């Protein structure tokens, strides 16, 4: 143990005449600990929300989309093979997306009709995970269950959409396409009956209240597209490289095809979350700054209390640098102990929240039953480093003032 560290430790450990200084020292440690703990817990909760939101979005959406400037893609089978040959792509599936109206007697509402390929779609999006009632296989053509025309084709609705229409499994409904079909009298809306064969819940109100799934063949038939589709949904090996893989796909396919990835499609949402996380970090860091001012006050009073000691040390040959180091180490010890206590408390609280989930949330508002927690090593490292740097900076002025004390002047007034 060095001379400076030994003296710093003795100053902290010794019983001072001024109890008030010791109280301020303890308050400084507690302030740093509280700030570090609050930062760890809040950022872990925000990371948990972000991760949960990402999983919900990717549960119903692919990592990338391949679209055509011609609005529809005709030779999608050939394009699918080309896309799947791109490095980093694990699967691709065709889809159809269009705006429709859904009617059940007196209830009418708008919806987004998604036509999917029952065989390849589960390889790209998490269909089985979001389905609450019914079966995806029931979307297949009615001819596989019985004679054609015996019952309407199947459709799967989001939980909120089905609730708004007052529908349950095996109820019939009508889907109306505003584009309609061309007749000698002009374009008229096209209507087709469907049977509710399933209800899904993605956890995202926007999806659960608007999306309706039908088979790709039924969507093509209903919209009169023949063999055309809207585009391809693509799953990548690494979701964070989806943008690079999407660009590689676009380069390989060339015009008239273009791509977009999930991060670009949800850029505003995730940008807002990152900004909110940054703002919370800055606000909660103020707790540590308040504790740092307490460290400054504590050290200034220690310097005033130890004026005679500093004079004696300097008379015995201690340099100004050594004196400055003594008081800097004292402040750093306060900050380090506070940071360690905050780190221990924050990590422990996060683990308790994650394991026992005793903080319940209204599922009809948040679509999650408990507070999500996700601790990230990078966040914790930044928090600890910030606390230690702030504690170090707080020691500079008091330590510098102590190093400037003149031994003769200090002893004269003792």
- Tell me the per-residue pLDDT of 355-364, one tens digit each, with 9 for 90 and over: 888 787 776 6
The per-residue pLDDT for range 250-301, each reduced to its tens digit, is 999 888 899 999 988 888 878 888 888 888 888 888 888 888 888 888 888 8
- Phi-psi region for residue 170, left (φ > 0), alpha (ψ -120 to 50) or beta? left
Whole-angstrom distance, CA of residue 337 vs CA of residue 112: 56
Cα torsion 316, 317, 319, 320 to 10°: value is 40
232, with CB counted inside 10 A (0-12, 13-18, 19+), is buried
The predicted structure's pLDDT at residue 183: 58
Give the pLDDT score at 182. Answer: 56
> Model confidence at 143, in pLDDT bands (50, 70, 90)?
very low
Q: Residue 152: which residues within 8 A CB-CB, separation 6 or more?
A: 142, 172, 192, 193, 194, 195
Task: Quote the pLDDT of residue 173.
Answer: 92
Grouping H, G, I as helix, E, B as strand and the rest as coil, residue 324 is helix
Domain positions in the chain are 3-57+269-412, 70-254
Distance, CA of 307 to CA of 321 (rounded, Å): 16
Q: pLDDT digit string (tens) for 188-201?
A: 778 889 999 999 98
pTM of the model: 0.75
Task: Name the 3-class secondary structure at 214.
Answer: strand
Strands 107-116 vs 211-215: parallel, antiparallel or unpaired: parallel
| Contact indicator for 216, 115 with CB cutoff of 8 Å | yes
Least confident of 62-71, 112-121, 162-171, 402-411: 402-411
The bridge status of strand 231-236 relative to strand 64-68 is antiparallel
Cα distances (Å, whole numbers) of residue 251 to 66, 87, 261, 301:
12, 13, 14, 68
3-state secondary structure of 2: coil
Lowest mean pLDDT among 342-351, 360-369, 396-405: 360-369
**Which structure tokens are listed for 324?**
């400055």
| Chain-centre distance for alpha carbon 351 | 18
Q: How far is CA 198 from the centre of its chain?
A: 29
> What phi and psi values does residue 23 have, to the nearest 5 degrees?
-65, -45
59: number of Cβ within 10 Å: 17
Distance between CA atoms of residues 155 and 214, nearest Å: 5
Task: Read off the tokens for 271.
Answer: 């940008």
Residue 26: pLDDT band by 50, 70, 90 thresholds? Answer: confident
Q: Which two tokens stand for residue 177?
A: 């396409």
CA distance 171 to 167: 6
Q: What average pLDDT does range 45-67 have in this prediction? A: 86
* pLDDT confidence bin for 52, thresholds 50/70/90: confident
């Amino acid at each position: 143990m060095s001379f400076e560290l030994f003296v710093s430790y003795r100053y902290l450990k010794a019983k001072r005449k001024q109890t008030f200084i010791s109280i301020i020292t303890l308050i400084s440690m507690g302030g740093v600990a509280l700030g570090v703990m609050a930062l760890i817990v809040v950022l872990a909760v925000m990371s948990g929300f972000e991760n949960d939101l990402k999983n919900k979005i990717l549960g119903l959406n692919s990592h990338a989309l391949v679209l055509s400037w011609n609005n529809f893609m005709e030779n999608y089978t050939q394009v699918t093979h080309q896309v799947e040959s791109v490095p980093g792509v694990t699967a691709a599936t065709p889809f159809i997306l269009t705006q429709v109206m859904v009617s059940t007697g007196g209830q009418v509402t708008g919806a987004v009709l998604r036509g999917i390929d029952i065989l390849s779609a589960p390889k790209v999006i998490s269909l089985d995970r979001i389905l609450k009632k019914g079966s995806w296989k029931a979307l297949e053509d009615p001819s596989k269950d019985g004679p054609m025309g015996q019952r309407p084709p199947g459709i799967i609705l989001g939980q909120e959409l089905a609730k708004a229409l007052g529908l349950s499994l095996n109820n019939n409904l009508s889907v109306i396409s505003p584009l309609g079909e061309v007749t000698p009298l002009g374009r008229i809306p096209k209507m087709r009956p469907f049977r509710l064969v399933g209800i899904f819940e993605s956890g995202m109100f926007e999806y659960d209240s608007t999306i309706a799934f039908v088979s790709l063949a039924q969507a093509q038939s209903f919209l009169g597209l023949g063999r055309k589709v809207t585009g391809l949904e693509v799953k990548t090996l690494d979701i964070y490289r989806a943008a690079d893989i999407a660009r590689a796909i676009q380069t390989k396919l060339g015009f008239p095809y273009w791509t977009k990835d999930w991060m670009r499609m949800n850029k505003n949402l995730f940008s807002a979350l990152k900004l909110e996380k940054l703002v919370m970090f800055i606000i909660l860091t103020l707790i540590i700054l308040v504790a740092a001012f307490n460290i400054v006050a504590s050290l200034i009073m220690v310097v005033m209390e130890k004026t005679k000691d500093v004079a004696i040390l300097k008379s015995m040959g201690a340099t100004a640098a050594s004196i400055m180091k003594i008081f800097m180490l004292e402040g750093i010890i306060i900050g380090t102990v506070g940071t360690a206590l905050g780190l221990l408390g924050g990590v422990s609280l996060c683990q308790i929240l994650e394991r026992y989930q005793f903080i319940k949330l209204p599922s009809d508002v948040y679509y999650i039953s408990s507070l999500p927690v996700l601790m990230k090593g990078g966040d914790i490292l930044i928090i600890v480093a910030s606390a230690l740097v702030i504690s170090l900076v707080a020691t500079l002025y008091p330590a510098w003032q102590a190093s400037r004390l003149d031994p003769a002047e200090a002893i004269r007034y003792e």
